[in-house]
Structure 1
Amino acid sequence: MDPNEKSAADSIDAIADEDLPFGAPTTRERPLILLADDDSELRGMLKAHFTRRDCDLLESVDGADALEKIIEHRPNLVVLDVMMPELTGWEVCKYVRQHDIYEHTAIIMLTGIGPTNNELTSPLFGADDYIDKPFDFEELKVKVAKVLEQRQSPPLR
């Protein structure tokens, strides 16, 4: 491919702010959160937790679907499982961090690989924070508030 040509991904990433279904990440009144986990039970618990808050939610069941939703919607926050089919959470996170258009997308890695591995790998791929499974929802609440503020997103109420 000619380096001067835009790839299909670059074209998709260039969706204009006004064409995003939930509007631009920096002008939303409430955060858009993507819950990406292949475990439907865990996703359901996360959804129940966030439904009580003032936010909009999207869900993904695998890494490829998560990446597609990130490109189409530019969420303010992605709660991203590491071990998923199609693409791993690390691959999705790496893609997001390689594209400036997602600078307002916070990523919290959610995984059961252990705190030491999380502490070492999450920053390498550009995650804002991580939470080990099983986790405490109060810890999740604190970390979500912190990363949304750091990425200049609307707060979660």
Structure 2
Amino acid sequence: MTELPVILIADDDPDLRRLVRMYLESSEYTLIEANSGTDALEKILIECPDLVILDVMMPGMTGWEILRYMRTKSGYADIAVLMLTGIGAALNEMSSPMYGADDYLDKPFQEAELLTKVRRLLSSQRDNKKG
């Protein structure tokens, strides 16, 4: 039996975490949540998820700090990261790739946008593990 992909939803806004969970629950994923930057990093190190949906502005550590840390650590550098943030499309488009994010999504977002990006990133993740 194949294990379900593990997705970490890291955002300090409980309503946003609930919304993302609601959008993803009907799919075949194991969902975990983090409510701060330090909580997110701890769960990344323990759970080693397949995908991290990461807010930029969180207490403890920013999403950029977490991403920078992940990209320098063996075993975590290849985890797919989707930045989910309200910093604005232009800044997100410029900053996300600069820090090593695989993709980004601006708040507010549509369910279809989120699902498309999640599926694409997880598919790429599986392909990378095979090859």
Q: TM-score, normalised by structure 2?
A: 0.92
Q: Which amino acid aligns with 2:17?
A: R
Identity %, equivalent residues: 47
2:57 is matched with 83
Query: Distance in 1 between the 2:12 and 2:88 partners?
Result: 18
Larger radius of gyration: 1
Report how many aligned residue pairs link the two structures.
127
The answer on 1:59 being equivalent to 2:27 is no
Query: Distance in 2 between the 1:124 and 1:118 partners?
Result: 10
Partner of 2:126, secondary structure, is: coil
The answer on 1:115 being equivalent to 2:89 is yes
Cα offsets for 1:53-99 (capped at 9, x unmatched)? 11111100000000000000100000000000000001011111111
Cα offsets for 1:19-61 (capped at 9, x unmatched)? xxxxxxxx96210000000000111111111111111111000
Query: Distance in 2 between the 1:127 and 1:94 partners?
Result: 9
1:139 is matched with 113
The 8 Å contact of residues 109 and 122 in structure 1, kept in 2 or not, is answered as: yes
Q: Describe the shift of the 1:151–1:103 C-alpha distance in structure 2 as closer, same or farther (beyond 3 A).
A: farther
Superposition CA RMSD, Å: 1.5
The 8 Å contact of residues 103 and 151 in structure 1, kept in 2 or not, is answered as: no
Q: Which amino acid aligns with 2:72?
A: Q
2:47 is matched with 73
The 8 Å contact of residues 70 and 76 in structure 2, kept in 1 or not, is answered as: yes
Partner of 1:87, secondary structure, is: coil
The 8 Å contact of residues 104 and 152 in structure 1, kept in 2 or not, is answered as: no
Point out where structure 2 has 5 or more consecutive residues left out of the alignment: none
1:128 is matched with 102
Point out where structure 1 has 5 or more consecutive residues left out of the alignment: 1-26
Query: Distance in 1 between the 2:57 and 2:78 partners?
Result: 24
1:14 is matched with none
